[in-house]
Structure 1
């Protein structure tokens, strides 16, 4: 049921979208393959507690790693020591009380603090670890500007602002001040679908829903499309913008009774910008195959079996082929490892050893 709900949640945001093609906008980069390919075998991280229903994201900071459980029963987040993954505590209580969370989309480290996004409450909350280091305290909550349509992801920028994808269709991102107010918007959807740009901007923006990440050390903001195969790279230090399209191109849809129905593929599911490269989890499953598997009673595994590695300017560097289907990644360049979440397993945290590009 969780797998079905996950697919339905993807389709539900795609409203009133017309067809797009695999045409590539002029001036954009196109890649067809990677110069290197390597198979990786994961090592299971054995945890001393069974907590997860759908471990979707994991990020490390301050000697700890936190895992987001997208469908957590009692708590959305679980903290562990790093790199030994010793359980510390759970937080982000699920419920209807004022300090509870209705949903959890993503979270970001900011020094010793953690910022957490609740889309259903349109709220960002800051947590801090107690002096003991094994529990978290809720420090403040920031209500997002009403002009910001449903926020589904965010990053921290310059320690005082947030960058949030814009689903109005007027631009690509919203820059939001520390108090939650919209400052300005920037970027544009790099589509060749002129009709949708003219007549269905909000719907097109929802169709181009992307997962994002930002590295303040090099100023690189990366966005990868959940449908289709598009990577965007914004260098916020020199204001350059690169669009890279793979063989599957833009998200594909057909209009049916006023709704946009995906006809292409499930694309990327996570991205991380390191100091040296951009790592992105890619799926590539077609919606046709997913539907056929469901009809035939075939258990379709969630996640992607590939990690694509790009340079900070969008040049394809390497493709990793994994022995598991994964959703989220955490790349530790210093230790030469990638940690990943596999929602299909009872022991969902995996470790892959890599040679840093």
Structure 2
């Protein structure tokens, strides 16, 4: 009996140790330094409403909100306008709706962007270089993959060429909400992760509400099959491998824990997220870093305008690297790690911004 108790205790301690290894608890005091950054306004002659920004190789790719086109492309050094990609419309070569997860790649034939349309199960690789060469916004496709969106509903998608897998997350129509899932292109086999952190009595809530509670940004490492989700309500960033295994969880505060919330206390008819949001908004992935904008910004007591935004930088092991503070209302961000330049959009004030953080990064 004594031997059984000892073995049981060993198993419990060992399991707890493994769980603890996955959890990286952080607070603002764990960052070696908080640095103030000041942005330069760029693309002053661009009068579109610029929603998100991505930097890759020698280009800036900007997704537009109020424009007949989906994307504008600029030279990142000169800010020269290079052309547009994607026409909004219903004709054969136009897109009614189109999204991307930020998966940009350099191929032998040029720079490519993966785009998707979740309503139709459409997933395609657009060659930006070839499209710009035509001087027309109609996209030139390198690959087109059709997915059964009924059996595999999705919102964000990433393509893994080495094993012909697709990694995605859930759409509102998905009745079996999970954190992330994979789709094997050849076998059509679907694999799913579990849903966490757990909420008590979650089954009592409509699936649309569950989707809101587990809302998160989702990014892939630029060159490796590693992914991270930065949650909106929960104060946690979770890092996964291509087999959907959880490798690390970067957490803070208390609401990241299982059963912190009880669904019986959530009224879907009210603003149930008010006072509960402690996570992240805009996110970006670079070769060495995870970059995330804290959703809770410092605001004016007079007009509620944002006075300070905070960016947290981690490495891919979850180690806190630096905390950046800006007076801009940051929304979308993208780090050019080699050049030491951070790009961002402030959509509320219609700004596209460039931050030279090269000297700050030298300390990292």
TMscore range, shorter length? 0.7 to 0.9
Does 2:53 correspond to 1:46?
no
Counterpart in the other structure of 1:110 = 105
Superposition deviation, residue 95 in structure 1: 1.6
Unaligned runs of 5+ in 1: 1-25
- The question of whether the paired residues in 2 share the 8 Å contact of 1:148 and 1:166 is answered with no
Partner of 1:32: 27
Aligned partner of 1:279 among 291, 299, 303:
291
Distance in 2 between residues matched to 1:141 and 1:188, nearest whole Å: 29
Contact in 1 for aligned 2:82/2:132 (Cα 8 Å): no
SS of 1:83's equivalent in the other structure is coil
Partner residue of 2:160? 157
Name the CA shift for 1:257/1:341 in 2 (closer, same or farther; >3 Å).
closer
Q: How does 1:339-350 map to 2 (within 5 A)?
A: 339-350=343-354
Equivalent position SS for 2:140: strand
Tell me how far 1:309 sits from its aligned partner. 0.8
Alignment match, 2:183 = 176
Q: Contact 1:61/1:109 (CA < 8 Å) preserved in 2?
A: yes
Query: Is residue 232–residue 243 contact of structure 1 (8 Å, CA) maintained in 2?
Result: yes
Partner of 2:83: 89
Structure 1 pair 314/182, CA: closer, same or farther in 2 (3 Å)? farther
Choose from 206, 215, 223 the match for 2:221. Answer: 215
Larger Rg, first or second structure (1 or 2): 2
Does residue 327 of structure 1 match 2:331? yes
CA distance in 2, matches of 1:132, 1:56: 21
Q: Distance in 1 between matches of 2:118 and 2:356?
A: 32
- Deviation for aligned residue 1:205: 4.2
Shift of the 91–46 alpha-carbon distance from structure 1 to 2, 3 Å rule, reads closer
Could you tell me whether the CA contact under 8 Å between 1:270 and 1:280 is conserved in 2? yes
Q: 1: CA distance between counterparts of 2:120 and 2:60?
A: 25
Rate the CA distance shift 1:59–1:147 in 2: closer, same or farther, 3 A. same
Unmatched 5+ residue regions in structure 2? 1-18
What SS is found at the alignment partner of 2:202?
A: helix
Q: CA deviation at 1:308?
A: 0.5
Distance in structure 1 (CA, Å) of the matches to 2:99 and 2:237: 20
SS in 1 for 2:317: coil
Secondary structure in 1 aligned to 2:272?
Answer: strand
Task: Classify the secondary structure of the residue corresponding to 1:256.
Answer: coil
Higher relative contact order (CA 8 A, sep 6+): 1
Corresponding residue for 1:316? 320
Paired residues of 1:228 and 1:249 also in contact (CA < 8 A): yes
Instruction: Say if 2:330 and 2:345, in contact at 8 Å, map to a contact too.
Output: yes
Post-superposition shift, 1:150? 5.1
Shift of 1:40: 0.6
Encode CA deviations 1:46-65: one digit per residue, 9 max, x unaligned: 34x42422x23222335322
- Please give the alpha-carbon distance, in whole angstroms, between the structure 1 residues aligned to 2:284 and 2:319: 15
Residues in 2 aligned to 1:192 and 1:155: alpha-carbon distance in whole angstroms: 26
TM-score between both structures, scaled by the size of structure 2 = 0.75
Would you say the 8 A contact 2:39–2:353 is kept in 1? no
> Do the aligned partners of residues 29 and 351 (structure 1) sit closer, same or farther apart at CA in structure 2, a change above 3 Å counting?
closer
On the 8 A contact 2:345/2:351 being kept in 1, the answer is no
**Are 2:243 and 1:232 equivalent residues in the alignment?**
no
Which residues in structure 2 correspond to 1:60-209 (within 5 Å)? 60-69=55-64, 71-106=65-100, 107-111=102-106, 112-128=111-127, 129-130=129-130, 133=133, 137-139=139-141, 141-147=144-150, 151-158=154-161, 160-167=164-171, 168=174, 169-177=176-184, 183-196=189-202, 203-209=209-215
CA distance in 2, matches of 1:203, 1:223: 19
Q: 1:350 to 1:60 in 2, by over 3 A?
A: closer
Which stretch of the first structure deviates more once superposed, 30-39 or 239-248? 239-248
- Once residues 94 and 78 of structure 1 are traced to their aligned partners in structure 2, the CA distance between those partners, rounded to angstroms, is 13
- Secondary structure of 1:175 counterpart: strand
Q: 1:159-185 deviations in whole A, cap 9, x for unaligned?
A: 643311135445321223458x85322
